[in-house]
């Protein structure tokens, strides 16, 4: 990798952000295919490449949007993988900081549970995105397939940033895994990891008007030296 390539990668990683408001402007198929072409080179255990992707556009997006909104209103959450039972310490602090930044940006007052619930339900509207993809992995490959899928997600996000495409990873969609499998007629052994909504960002929406922080390297890195 040349110095200029390294700088480009660092720039993409630091510039990337989660988008919570999209324009109603579908992407060309060729652009979407370029993102998948990059992400398919993701490393995986024994080269198993366990990720399976479903992606929507046009009427397909609208049908899935309606299905997810209905599931969120009428079905109890039931994910294939356990969600955190709770957050403590620094993880709670980081989660709280990010949530307060979002609420401040969109005008949700602290303690306003009704407004908070409305904002949470925007997940199932895909924040207005014209496209959404769902990542699944085979149950038989166990938890390390999730590591591989996470690598695919990270590379997809970097590819999207490189092509001027905004995106957001959504674990919220995985809360309705059975509804997703039924909607896309996926095999029962395909476990839902997450969704990713993507398209062009609405730069004027206040939901896109802030950035979350990142912990310094020393907070997450332990050296073992001579």
Domain spanning 17-84+124-209, CATH class: alpha beta
Specify the pLDDT at position 2: 83
Fill in the DSSP letter of residue 130: S
The answer to whether the beta carbons of residues 27 and 130 sit under 8 Å apart is yes
Where are the domains positioned within the chain?
A: 17-84+124-209
Fill in the DSSP letter of residue 78: B
Q: What is the pLDDT of residues 55-77, one digit of tens each?
A: 999 999 999 999 999 999 999 99
Q: What is the pLDDT of residues 82-132, one digit of tens each?
A: 999 999 999 999 999 999 999 899 888 888 888 888 898 999 999 999 999
Determine if residue 126 is left, alpha or beta; phi over 0 gives left, psi from -120 to 50 gives alpha, anything else beta. Answer: left
């Amino acid at each position: 990798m040349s110095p200029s390539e390294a700088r480009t990668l660092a720039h993409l990683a630091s510039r990337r952000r989660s988008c919570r408001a999209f324009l109603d402007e579908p992407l060309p198929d060729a652009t979407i295919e370029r993102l998948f072409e990059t992400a398919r080179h993701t490393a995986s255990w024994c080269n198993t490449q366990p990720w399976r992707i479903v992606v929507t556009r046009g009427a397909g997006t609208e049908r899935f949007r309606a299905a997810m909104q209905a599931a969120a209103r009428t079905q109890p959450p039931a994910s294939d993988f356990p969600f955190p039972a709770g957050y403590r310490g620094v993880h709670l602090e980081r989660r709280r900081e990010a949530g307060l930044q979002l609420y401040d940006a969109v005008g949700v007052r602290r303690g306003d549970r009704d407004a908070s619930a409305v904002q949470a339900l925007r997940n199932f509207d895909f924040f207005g995105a014209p496209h959404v993809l769902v990542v699944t992995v085979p149950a038989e490959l166990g938890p390390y397939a999730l590591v591989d899928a996470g690598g695919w997600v990270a590379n997809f996000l970097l590819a999207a940033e490189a092509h001027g495409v905004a995106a957001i990873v959504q674990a919220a969609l995985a809360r309705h895994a059975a509804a997703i499998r039924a909607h896309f007629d996926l095999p029962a052994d395909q476990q839902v990891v997450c969704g990713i909504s993507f398209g062009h960002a609405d730069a004027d929406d206040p939901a896109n008007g802030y950035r979350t922080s990142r912990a310094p390297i020393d907070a997450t890195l332990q050296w073992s030296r001579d």
